[in-house]
Amino acid sequence: MEKKDSSSQISENVSHATTGDAQIVPQNMGKLNSSSSELDLDRPNLEDYLPIGSIPEPRGKLRLRDFLDISPTLTEAAGAIVDDSFTRCFKSNPPEPWNWNIYLFPLWCFGVVIRYGVLFPVRVLVLTIGWIIFLSSFIPVHFLLKGHDKLRKKMERILVELICSFFVASWTGVVKYHGPRPSMRPKQVFVANHTSMIDFIILEQITAFAVIMQKHPGWVGLLQSTILESVGCIWFNRSEAKDREIVARKLREHVVGVDNNPLLIFPEGTCVNNHYTVMFKKGAFELGCTVCPIAIKYNKIFVDAFWNSKKQSFTMHLLQLMTSWAVVCDVWYLEPQNLKPGETPIEFAERVRDIISVRAGIKKVPWDGYLKYSRPSPKHRERKQQSFAESVLRRLEEK
Amino acid sequence: MGSASSLLTQYDIEEVQEHCNKIFSQQEIVSLYQRFCQLDRNAKGFISADEFLSVPEFAMNPLSQRLLKMVDGLNFKDFVAFLSAFSAKASMHQKIELIFKVYDSDCNGKVSFNDILEVLQDLSGSFMSDEQREQVLSQVLQEAGYSRGSYLLLDDFVKVFGKSGLKMEVEVPVD
């Protein structure tokens, strides 16, 4: 089943103009993933997660009243308008105002002066020094040690970890790491929940992970293609179907390499506000490797670390962090997990998501994070239509 | 450091309350206002069809296109008025009226055989054939004492739904 599933998806990705929705097989449409969107090489299937039968099924003879009664569907629609769990995942949390009274206000003003007038310049200085040290050693290492691959890789690894530590220092990152530090060995991938690009920096300062990341524009993109490439990071463009295939291939090649840096994947595929986890893409879970979950929980006491990429550029996000008192967070390296016999990659992904959500104390929601960028495919609606049609037809026969 | 709620004065809230026949409490209106602002991404003062569709749970609804015709471009007062039919405090009549409006897409005050057929088509998609739909519909209409050619008025809807309760309630989250 799995084999067939993925191959049908790839072929569809090649010719993604086909509207594959018409050929849904009624008896087993939960498993056969056929959507026309080009984004979903490893898009999980919503139906596998949503509770089945949200509309209670009436029984007995069909009357006009039952027929005209569209209230369950309307109620669902109105419920979604009033509140929906998807939007909540990506809501920035405004800071709790505490400067509201006359005694606290001067104190707050004093804090602002310190944060912007003292802390911020100091941090900019720290970061600049960091960059100078980093560049002045990275460039020679990169070009002079061409012949000594092993040594060069090791040096570059250390330097990338170093610059990340400077970044963490630049927002006074108070990070508590729990559990064993990752070691380098083949056939394992690390997966973590994703709140902001700083997740990557925080994890990178301890271990030089190779990460799968979306290609960014601007200076971040420049860093990606020059420096991070050297630790084996893999880039893709979210909207390019061809990229996804290449990434899938690179992934498989990377995990078997002995001397490669450990692989880090954020299977949510998008930043979530650290109160919720959205569905994990199954890509990381079908490599046949040991999956080591990492849970990251930010403490919002000083600043909200959620990067709302639609509202804020990454530079603004960093400035916000650099003008706050501190970024406080906990990182847990959790028990490695393997695919159990008889478990599908989706079930495996869900199990790992469970482990991470429980440890970090965040809620699971049955949504695909990519819905931020695209509309849900028509098959979700078809599922509802099918159950409606079936119930009508069944009741017609009953009489 | 004000949040959205502080932008509404008592007057504003009372005005909105009048508009929805006092079905929502002040707290609920404040919550709805926050939600409204959240959905109205471009802060235009109304919610466009596209913004409604950005809520996946709504976009997946079989009746979403039909509902969009009713809710597209609503300002806050009408947004609240629309949702008030889903309150537990709303009368049975108000709920039936809303359902009637969903059926009556051309707003001529009567629902024809074809109007019902269209809704049925939205609800069942490709999983029922046109013949099946027509057959089922004529049959239930006949059993209820109507024919293919008859138009249903709001009063007919009231009669058909009768006294038995209608489960159509959405709770507004208040924090």
Span B136-158, pLDDT tens digits: 888 888 888 888 888 888 888 88
* Contact (CB<8Å) B57/A76: yes
Alpha-carbon gap, residue A62 to A395, rounded angstroms: 6
pLDDT of residue A398: 66
List CB contacts (< 8 A) between B132 and chain A. 393
List CB contacts (< 8 A) between A367 and chain B. 56
List CB contacts (< 8 A) between A62 and chain B. 136, 140
| CB-nearest partner of A78 from B56, B62, B83 | B83
Among chain B residues, CA nearest to A372: B54
User: Which of B93, B140, B164 to substitute to test the interface with A, most A CBs within 10 Å?
Assistant: B140
Among chain A residues, CA nearest to B113: A68
* ipTM computed for the complex: 0.87
* Contact (CB<8Å) A73/B62: yes
| CB-nearest partner of A80 from B55, B103, B166 | B55
CA distance B107 to chain A (A): 17
Alpha-carbon gap, residue B86 to A67, rounded angstroms: 19
Size of interface A-B (CB pairs under 8 A): 156
pLDDT of residue A399: 52
Q: What is the pLDDT along chain A (399 residues), one digit of tens a residue?
A: 333 444 444 333 333 333 333 333 333 333 333 333 333 334 444 544 444 444 444 555 667 777 788 888 888 888 888 888 888 888 877 777 777 788 888 888 898 999 999 999 999 999 999 999 999 999 888 888 877 888 888 888 899 999 999 999 998 899 999 999 888 888 889 999 999 989 999 999 998 899 888 888 888 888 888 888 888 888 888 777 777 788 888 888 888 887 888 899 999 988 898 989 999 988 889 888 899 999 999 998 888 889 888 788 889 999 999 999 999 999 999 999 999 999 999 999 999 999 999 999 998 888 888 787 777 777 878 888 888 888 888 877 765
pLDDT of residue A11: 39
List CB contacts (< 8 A) between B144 and chain A. 63-65
List CB contacts (< 8 A) between B63 and chain A. 70, 73-74, 77
pLDDT of residue B6: 53
* Contact (CB<8Å) B167/A371: no
Q: Is B119 exposed, middle or buried (0-12, 13-18, 19+ CB in 10 A)?
A: buried
| CB-nearest partner of B62 from A80, A82, A381 | A381
pLDDT of residue A15: 37
List CB contacts (< 8 A) between A384 and chain B. 60-62
pLDDT of residue A348: 94
pLDDT of residue A191: 94
Helix (H) or strand (E) holding B41: none
pLDDT of residue A61: 63
* Contact (CB<8Å) A64/B55: no
How do residues B78-134 score in pLDDT, each as one tens digit? 999 999 999 988 888 888 999 999 998 888 888 888 888 999 999 988 888 888 888
> Any idea what the Cα angle at residue A282 is, between residues A277 and A287, rounded to 5°?
130
pLDDT of residue A24: 35
Whats the size of chain B, residue-wise? 175
Measured CA distances, B165 to A66, A141, A348, B95, B154 (Å): 12, 77, 44, 10, 17
List CB contacts (< 8 A) between A390 and chain B. 127
Q: How many CA atoms lie within 13 A of A44 on its CB side?
A: 29
CA distance A58 to chain B (A): 12
* Contact (CB<8Å) A382/B127: yes
3-state secondary structure of A111: helix
pLDDT of residue A382: 87
Among chain B residues, CA nearest to A75: B168
List CB contacts (< 8 A) between B59 and chain A. 375-376
Looking at this protein, which amino acid is placed at residue A368?
Answer: D
* Contact (CB<8Å) A71/B125: no
* Contact (CB<8Å) A73/B140: no
pLDDT of residue A133: 94
